[in-house]
Amino acid sequence: MDPNWLAALVFLGLAAILAAGQLVAARILAVKAKDNPPTKFDTYECGEEPDGIAWVRFHPRYYVIALIFVLFDVETVFLLPWAINIDTLGTFAIVEMVVFVTILMLGWAYAWRKGALEWQ
Protein backbone atom coordinates (compact mmCIF):
# COMPACT_ATOMS: atom_id res chain seq x y z
CA MET A 1 0.00 0.00 0.00
CA ASP A 2 1.18 3.49 -0.84
CA PRO A 3 2.50 5.27 2.29
CA ASN A 4 0.43 8.38 1.51
CA TRP A 5 -2.78 6.36 1.49
CA LEU A 6 -1.72 4.54 4.65
CA ALA A 7 -1.16 7.86 6.41
CA ALA A 8 -4.58 9.07 5.25
CA LEU A 9 -6.25 5.89 6.52
CA VAL A 10 -4.48 6.17 9.87
CA PHE A 11 -5.59 9.81 10.11
CA LEU A 12 -9.20 8.91 9.33
CA GLY A 13 -9.10 6.05 11.84
CA LEU A 14 -7.73 8.31 14.58
CA ALA A 15 -10.35 10.95 13.77
CA ALA A 16 -13.13 8.35 14.04
CA ILE A 17 -11.75 7.03 17.34
CA LEU A 18 -11.46 10.57 18.72
CA ALA A 19 -15.02 11.46 17.67
CA ALA A 20 -16.46 8.26 19.11
CA GLY A 21 -14.45 8.75 22.30
CA GLN A 22 -15.81 12.25 22.76
CA LEU A 23 -19.38 11.05 22.26
CA VAL A 24 -18.92 8.25 24.79
CA ALA A 25 -17.24 10.60 27.30
CA ALA A 26 -20.06 13.12 26.90
CA ARG A 27 -22.64 10.38 27.53
CA ILE A 28 -20.81 9.16 30.63
CA LEU A 29 -19.95 12.56 32.12
CA ALA A 30 -23.22 14.34 31.29
CA VAL A 31 -25.24 15.78 34.14
CA LYS A 32 -28.51 13.90 34.39
CA ALA A 33 -31.67 15.83 35.26
CA LYS A 34 -33.56 14.36 38.20
CA ASP A 35 -36.92 15.57 36.95
CA ASN A 36 -38.24 17.43 33.96
CA PRO A 37 -39.73 20.81 34.88
CA PRO A 38 -42.76 21.82 32.83
CA THR A 39 -40.83 24.72 31.27
CA LYS A 40 -38.00 22.54 29.98
CA PHE A 41 -39.43 22.29 26.48
CA ASP A 42 -40.63 25.89 26.18
CA THR A 43 -39.16 28.19 23.55
CA TYR A 44 -36.30 30.27 24.94
CA GLU A 45 -36.35 33.94 23.94
CA CYS A 46 -33.37 35.59 25.66
CA GLY A 47 -34.80 35.23 29.16
CA GLU A 48 -38.15 36.73 28.17
CA GLU A 49 -41.47 34.98 28.42
CA PRO A 50 -42.33 33.23 25.13
CA ASP A 51 -44.69 35.27 23.00
CA GLY A 52 -46.72 33.20 20.57
CA ILE A 53 -45.76 29.89 19.02
CA ALA A 54 -42.27 28.92 17.91
CA TRP A 55 -43.39 27.78 14.46
CA VAL A 56 -43.52 30.93 12.38
CA ARG A 57 -44.04 30.79 8.63
CA PHE A 58 -41.61 32.79 6.55
CA HIS A 59 -42.35 34.18 3.13
CA PRO A 60 -40.76 32.08 0.34
CA ARG A 61 -38.92 35.20 -0.85
CA TYR A 62 -36.51 34.79 2.08
CA TYR A 63 -35.60 31.31 0.89
CA VAL A 64 -34.95 32.58 -2.64
CA ILE A 65 -32.63 35.26 -1.27
CA ALA A 66 -30.86 32.65 0.86
CA LEU A 67 -30.39 30.36 -2.15
CA ILE A 68 -28.99 33.19 -4.23
CA PHE A 69 -26.59 34.02 -1.40
CA VAL A 70 -25.44 30.39 -1.22
CA LEU A 71 -25.00 30.35 -4.99
CA PHE A 72 -22.64 33.31 -4.93
CA ASP A 73 -20.92 32.01 -1.81
CA VAL A 74 -20.12 28.76 -3.62
CA GLU A 75 -18.96 30.79 -6.60
CA THR A 76 -16.40 32.42 -4.32
CA VAL A 77 -15.20 28.97 -3.24
CA PHE A 78 -14.50 28.14 -6.88
CA LEU A 79 -12.98 31.52 -7.73
CA LEU A 80 -10.42 31.70 -4.91
CA PRO A 81 -8.26 28.68 -5.85
CA TRP A 82 -8.50 29.67 -9.50
CA ALA A 83 -7.32 33.22 -8.72
CA ILE A 84 -4.42 31.93 -6.63
CA ASN A 85 -3.16 29.65 -9.44
CA ILE A 86 -4.07 31.79 -12.45
CA ASP A 87 -0.44 32.23 -13.54
CA THR A 88 0.09 28.46 -13.85
CA LEU A 89 -3.30 27.55 -15.33
CA GLY A 90 -3.03 29.34 -18.65
CA THR A 91 -5.47 30.86 -21.10
CA PHE A 92 -7.85 27.90 -21.19
CA ALA A 93 -8.59 28.28 -17.47
CA ILE A 94 -9.33 31.98 -17.96
CA VAL A 95 -11.80 31.18 -20.72
CA GLU A 96 -13.43 28.47 -18.58
CA MET A 97 -13.83 30.87 -15.66
CA VAL A 98 -15.34 33.52 -17.92
CA VAL A 99 -17.89 30.92 -19.08
CA PHE A 100 -18.58 29.92 -15.45
CA VAL A 101 -19.09 33.51 -14.29
CA THR A 102 -21.20 34.29 -17.39
CA ILE A 103 -23.57 31.41 -16.60
CA LEU A 104 -23.88 32.61 -13.01
CA MET A 105 -24.50 36.19 -14.10
CA LEU A 106 -27.21 35.00 -16.51
CA GLY A 107 -28.91 33.26 -13.58
CA TRP A 108 -28.59 36.39 -11.47
CA ALA A 109 -30.01 38.54 -14.27
CA TYR A 110 -32.92 36.09 -14.67
CA ALA A 111 -33.68 36.26 -10.93
CA TRP A 112 -33.49 40.04 -11.03
CA ARG A 113 -35.72 40.23 -14.10
CA LYS A 114 -38.34 37.92 -12.52
CA GLY A 115 -38.40 40.16 -9.42
CA ALA A 116 -36.98 37.56 -7.03
CA LEU A 117 -34.69 40.18 -5.50
CA GLU A 118 -37.41 42.77 -4.83
CA TRP A 119 -38.41 43.45 -1.21
CA GLN A 120 -42.08 44.41 -1.52
Give 45-69 pLDDT, tens digit per residue.
Answer: 676 666 767 677 777 778 888 888 8
In a shared domain, residues 30 and 62? no
- Does the model's pTM come out above 0.95? no
Domain assignment present for residue 39? The answer is no
Domain count, the chain: 2
Q: Which residues contact 82 (CB under 8 A, 6 or more apart)?
A: 89, 93, 97
Question: Domain of 78?
Answer: 58-120
Report the distance separating Cα 17 and Cα 11, nearest Å: 10
In a shared domain, residues 62 and 24? no
Q: Which residues contact 81 (CB under 8 A, 6 or more apart)?
A: none
In a shared domain, residues 84 and 28? no
In a shared domain, residues 16 and 73? no
Domain assignment present for residue 26? The answer is yes
Range with top average pLDDT, 2-6, 30-34, 40-44: 2-6
In a shared domain, residues 120 and 62? yes
Domain assignment present for residue 47? The answer is no
In a shared domain, residues 63 and 15? no
